[in-house]
Structure 1
Amino acid sequence: MEPTTVIKMPIITEKVTAASEFNQYAFHVDHRATRTDVKKAIEAIYGVTVVAVRTQVRQERDRTYKYGKTLGKTWKRAMVRVAEGQKIELF
């Protein structure tokens, strides 16, 4: 897969910002991407050395409307840890 199609966007929340102090960053990735695809894409786009990749398939919460219930969409998140002394500038 192309690196630009693997990584959809970085996830910027309070929890992820706190984890960036420990060289960990979160990205919204394509659901077909594997850990090795994510590792190669991050190294190609940001020019850093990736030490570890953890992936999760997440689901948005279900919503109840006037005429029934709608299921939330599923998406994939990757937590990436880069080598000591390296950073990814997201801002």
Structure 2
Amino acid sequence: MDPRDVIIRPWITEKSTEEIEDNKYTFVVDKKANKTQIKQAVEKLFEADVKKVRTMNMTGKPKRLGRYEGRRPDWKKAIVVLKEDSKPIKIFE
């Protein structure tokens, strides 16, 4: 898999912005990607040393439009912890 196919986009929320101080970065990743692929993609794209990767499968929220009910699609979130001596990822600055 190409690293750009593994990492879809950064996940920017108030909590994820606060975790940047602790060298924790949050990304939306491909649902089929495993921790090893995510680690290799972050190291290749951002030239950072990854210490640990945590992943979560997020369920899509139920939504309505008038009388029609549906759901948003399910997605996968990854929290990447960098080593202390690693340089920060510039996309979040």
Does TM-score exceed 0.5, indicating one fold? yes
The match for 2:90 is 89
Stretches of structure 1 that go unaligned for 5 or more consecutive residues are none
Give 4+ residue runs of structure 1 displaced > 6 Å after superposition: none
2: CA distance between counterparts of 1:48 and 1:10? 15
Superposition TM-score, scaled by structure 1 size: 0.93
Other-structure match for 2:38: 38
2:76 alignment partner in structure 1: 76
Partner amino acid for 1:67?
A: R
Question: CA offset at residue 72 of structure 1?
Answer: 2.1
C-alpha separation in 2, matches of 1:17 and 1:67: 37
What does residue 25 of structure 2 align with?
Answer: 25
Give aligned pairs, total: 91
TM-score, normalised relative to structure 2: 0.91
- The unaligned stretches of length 5 or more in structure 2 are none
Which residue number corresponds to residue 66 of structure 1?
66
Q: 2-side partners of 1:54 and 1:61: how far apart?
A: 22
Equivalent-residue separation in structure 2 for 1:68 and 1:7 (angstroms): 32
Letter in 2 for 1:25: Y
SS in 1 for 2:32: coil
Q: Give the superposition deviation at 1:38.
A: 0.1
Q: CA RMSD in A?
A: 1.1
**Cα displacement string for residues 36-63 of structure 1 (whole angstroms, at most 9, x for unaligned residues):** 0000000001111100000111123101
Give the Cα–Cα distance (whole angstroms) in 1 for the partners of residues 72 and 5 of structure 2.
Answer: 23
Residue 28 of structure 1: how far off its partner (Å): 0.7
Identical amino acids, percent of aligned pairs = 34
